[in-house]
């Protein structure tokens, strides 16, 4: 399964959703796809979608997905990393009126340098990144393992999971 999320930013991210839908519609992607479309105005024709999902559902989808494709917001990238996943990230860009400035590009470059995400700077790159995902992911994991990253992520993810579960338990009591 491929899980796509554009977060909750108020500007549409039709560019990403249209490309995913096109790839699915033309048979370039065989996987089942679920898209969280947010404030986008384009409704997919070939993929299941929902405008918004609860954070718990997003984390569950991340855990189940073979590939996660997300915008460049930390709120969508970090849960992937916490779950030990390497997402494909398509930063929103000012020139497409998807965001007010290019902070997502800057953020993604820094995280990419650390080898924790696969970035798509031009939407035309997305198909190849999806096709080559396993190879790209495995190369990044090898580099991260060399630096002891896997154990750090596991420990960090367990700590975050415990904190989130405690917050959920407290919220249910209220």
Q: Which domains does the chain have, with CATH numbers?
A: 2-173 (3.40.50.2000)
Give the span between the Cα atoms of 43 and 46, in whole angstroms: 9
Give the span between the Cα atoms of 9 and 99, in whole angstroms: 8
Buried b (16+ CB within 10 A) or exposed e, 111-125: bbeebbbbbbeebee
Q: What is the mean pLDDT of the chain?
A: 90
Predicted confidence band of residue 115 (pLDDT cuts 50, 70, 90): confident
Give the span between the Cα atoms of 7 and 58, in whole angstroms: 10
pLDDT digits over 143-168, tens only? 877 766 666 666 666 666 666 677 77
Does residue 29 or residue 153 have the better pLDDT? 29
**End-to-end C-alpha distance for the chain, whole angstroms:** 35
Predicted confidence band of residue 119 (pLDDT cuts 50, 70, 90): very high
> Quick check: 170 pLDDT over 90?
no
Whole-number Cα distances in Å, 58 to 5, 95, 140: 8, 28, 24
> Quick check: 85 pLDDT over 80?
yes
Predicted confidence band of residue 104 (pLDDT cuts 50, 70, 90): very high
Whole-number Cα distances in Å, 123 to 17, 50, 83, 102: 10, 22, 26, 16
Whole-number Cα distances in Å, 17 to 13, 78, 149: 7, 21, 32
53-60, long-range: CB within 8 Å, 24+ apart, which pairs? 56/168, 58/5, 59/83, 59/164
DSSP run (H or E) holding 109: helix 103-113
> Quick check: 28 pLDDT over 90?
yes
């Amino acid at each position: 399964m491929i899980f796509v999320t554009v977060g909750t930013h108020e500007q549409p991210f039709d560019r990403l959703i249209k490309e995913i839908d096109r790839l699915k519609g033309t048979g370039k992607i065989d996987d089942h796809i679920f898209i969280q479309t947010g404030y986008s105005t384009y409704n997919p024709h070939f993929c299941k979608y929902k405008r918004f999902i609860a954070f718990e559902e997003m984390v569950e989808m991340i855990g189940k997905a073979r590939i996660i494709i997300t915008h460049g917001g930390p709120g969508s990238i970090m849960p992937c990393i916490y779950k030990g996943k390497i997402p494909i990230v398509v930063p929103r860009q000012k020139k497409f009126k998807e965001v007010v400035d290019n902070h997502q590009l800057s953020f993604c470059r820094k995280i990419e340098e650390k080898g924790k995400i696969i970035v798509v700077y031009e939407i035309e790159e997305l198909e190849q990144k999806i096709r080559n995902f396993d190879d790209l992911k495995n190369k990044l994991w090898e580099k991260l393992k060399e630096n002891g990253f896997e154990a750090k992520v596991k420990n960090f993810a367990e700590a975050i999971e415990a904190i989130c579960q405690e917050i959920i338990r407290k919220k249910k009591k209220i």
